[in-house]
């Protein structure tokens, strides 16, 4: 991992890996992060989230809007809070996590984060390839299936991963520029598609809908948070490590909350409007096709282009973050090579799921959704630690030997790791694991409780993880005895 200049011009290769960024290269501002988070959440696939609020929770549209604001924008405020650590420590989220869990204890959270990243990237890639196959079906006038056209499927998977590699491989500066300008293009397409979708809304049913009880709104907030910001929380510091030291914490929080919140609230609201009196979108196994069927035939092409672009913008950021997480796990290669390793993994996974497996969406998404439990536990501990930790030792973050200040006992900070483990066990106790209501793999002993039945076990996980860590004294001021750069 090179320590030379990272090449902070768009189009130039970022050579820095996980090593902390020198102060003289930290010239970023919050508006850059606003566009990054906006682009990553502009996908039209946000519509099914809103559809579930109305179709399955029975919320009136004004309730759905409130839930979207609190759940989606609120959970991305947590991403913004973790971004504060990036500005302080100048390193990626999971690298900074070594200071909390120990250089060995941090392997667990890092591995979980990498598995989650690669999993959702594989979903993005396969979905994008299906989008291109659907586009071909429209253009050529006959259905094109993945297994009946394996070469075409390979080409489409390759196109998507190469476009991702072009941005994520070049790195931070290129990512900032691409995400900003692509937002204008695909944002305009989203508005165009959304305008035609509005024509299908049953407005009389919208205004006559009966409000749901408060409990349904609480459940909805949890569902939205788990499906949006919580999954991005461990990437917060990855993008903020280049922010100028003068940037206020509140602006970092606002850049994530508003950057992701604006597109998500609009898309969730539109999804809710579409589902008033119509459960098709909420219950669809393939939301891409379900949304396409709501549009005039001639609008299908711009719609599919919009869907493809949204998936790509999300994947750009995710793969960049996954590359840094791979380096934190211990792979001794340059950052761009770590990105290539991740690209190869999702390319292989997409080939298997599209050309070999009979079915994958249900079981696979269930599996990577389960990873939200240990990720939420990590978030709880990280946030509590951040309250008191104002300094990360750059040298010790990279030192994985017993000489590191973050070696603790045997390389593990047992208060943090123990709180993480207990919270995971308790979180799964509230969890039901299965692909459908009939196909249940596992049901925790507390899954029939009100919290478990309504999918709010992740809130227990967050509170228990942070609470135990604080009670054990892990949240005390953790600055080294000799602080040479306490103004970081």
pLDDT (tens digit per residue) in 278-326: 777 777 767 777 888 888 888 888 999 999 999 999 999 999 999 999 9
Cα 78-84-88 angle, rounded to 5 deg: 155
Say what the pLDDT of residue 487 is: 36
Say what the pLDDT of residue 161 is: 97
Give the domain ranges of the chain.
23-472
Say what the pLDDT of residue 336 is: 95
Say what the pLDDT of residue 383 is: 96
Q: How far apart are the first and last CA of the chain?
A: 23
- pLDDT means over runs of 10, the chain (488 residues): 51 93 93 95 84 86 95 95 96 97 97 92 91 88 84 96 96 94 91 90 90 88 85 93 96 97 94 86 76 84 92 95 96 95 96 81 68 93 94 95 96 97 95 71 86 82 96 70 38
Going from the C-alpha of 156 to that of each of 163, 298, 300, the distances in angstroms are 11, 22, 18
The domain made up of 23-472 is a member of CATH 1.10.4160.10: yes
Pairing of strands 432-434, 440-443: antiparallel
SS3 of 277-340: CCCHHHHCCCHHHHHHCCCCHHHHHHHHHHHHHHHHHHHHHHHHHHHHHHHHHCCCCCHHHHHH
- Residue 171 corresponds to which tokens in the numbers above? 């790195």
Say what the pLDDT of residue 141 is: 78
Say what the pLDDT of residue 483 is: 39
Contacts 24+ apart (CB under 8 A), 352-359: 353/122, 353/126, 354/126, 354/129, 354/130, 354/146, 354/147, 354/153, 354/157, 355/146, 355/147, 355/150, 355/153, 355/154
The alpha-helical segments, DSSP class H, found in 141-248 are: 150-170, 172-198, 203-208, 214-227, 229-232, 236-240
User: Which of 329, 337, 423 is closest to 374 using CA atoms?
Assistant: 423
pLDDT (tens digit per residue) in 441-453: 778 899 888 888 7
Say what the pLDDT of residue 486 is: 36
pLDDT (tens digit per residue) in 103-119: 999 999 999 999 999 98
């Amino acid at each position: 991992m090179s320590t030379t200049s990272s090449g902070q011009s768009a189009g130039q290769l970022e050579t820095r890996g996980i090593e902390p960024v020198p102060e003289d290269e930290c010239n970023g501002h919050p508006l850059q992060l606003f566009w990054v988070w906006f682009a990553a959440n502009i996908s039209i696939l946000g519509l099914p989230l809103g559809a579930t609020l109305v179709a399955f929770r029975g919320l009136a549209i004004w309730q759905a809007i409130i839930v979207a604001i609190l759940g989606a924008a609120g959970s991305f405020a947590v991403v913004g809070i973790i971004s504060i650590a990036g500005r302080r420590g100048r390193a990626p989220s999971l690298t900074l996590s070594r200071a909390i869990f120990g250089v060995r204890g941090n392997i667990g959270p890092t591995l979980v984060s990498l598995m989650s990243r690669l999993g959702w990237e594989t979903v993005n890639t396969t979905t994008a390839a299906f989008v291109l196959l659907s586009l071909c079906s429209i253009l050529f006038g006959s259905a094109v299936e993945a297994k009946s056209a394996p070469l075409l499927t390979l080409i489409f998977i390759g196109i998507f991963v190469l476009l991702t590699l072009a941005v994520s491989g070049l790195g931070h500066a290129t990512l900032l520029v691409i995400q900003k300008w692509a937002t204008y293009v695909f944002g305009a397409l989203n508005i165009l598609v959304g305008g035609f979708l509005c024509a299908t809304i049953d407005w009389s049913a919208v205004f006559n809908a009966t409000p749901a009880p408060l409990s349904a709104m609480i459940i909805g907030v949890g569902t939205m948070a788990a499906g949006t910001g919580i999954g991005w929380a461990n990437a917060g510091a990855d993008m903020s490590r280049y922010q100028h030291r003068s940037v206020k914490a509140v602006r970092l929080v606002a850049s994530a909350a508003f950057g992701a919140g604006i597109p998500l609230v609009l898309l969730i609201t539109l999804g809710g409007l579409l589902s008033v009196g119509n459960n098709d979108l909420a219950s669809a196994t393939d939301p891409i096709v379900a949304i396409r069927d709501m549009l005039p035939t001639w609008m299908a092409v711009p719609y599919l282009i919009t869907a493809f672009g949204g998936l790509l913008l999300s994947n750009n950021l995710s793969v960049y973050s996954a590359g840094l997480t791979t380096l934190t796990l211990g792979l001794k290669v340059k950052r761009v090579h770590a990105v290539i390793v991740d690209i190869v993994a999702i390319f292989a996974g997409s080939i298997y799921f599209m050309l070999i497996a009979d079915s994958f969406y249900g079981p696979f998404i269930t599996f990577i959704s389960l990873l939200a439990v240990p990720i939420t536990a990590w978030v709880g501990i990280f946030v509590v630690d951040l309250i008191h930790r104002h300094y990360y030792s750059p040298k010790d973050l990279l030192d994985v030997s017993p000489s590191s200040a973050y070696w603790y006992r045997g390389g593990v900070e047992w208060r943090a790791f123990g709180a993480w483990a207990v919270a995971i066990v308790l979180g799964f106790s509230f969890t039901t694991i299965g692909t459908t209501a009939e196909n249940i793999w596992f049901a925790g002993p507390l899954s029939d409780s009100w919290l478990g039945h309504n999918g709010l076990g992740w809130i227990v996980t967050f509170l228990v993880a942070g609470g135990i860590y604080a009670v054990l004294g892990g949240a005390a001021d953790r600055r080294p005895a000799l602080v040479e750069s306490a103004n970081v």
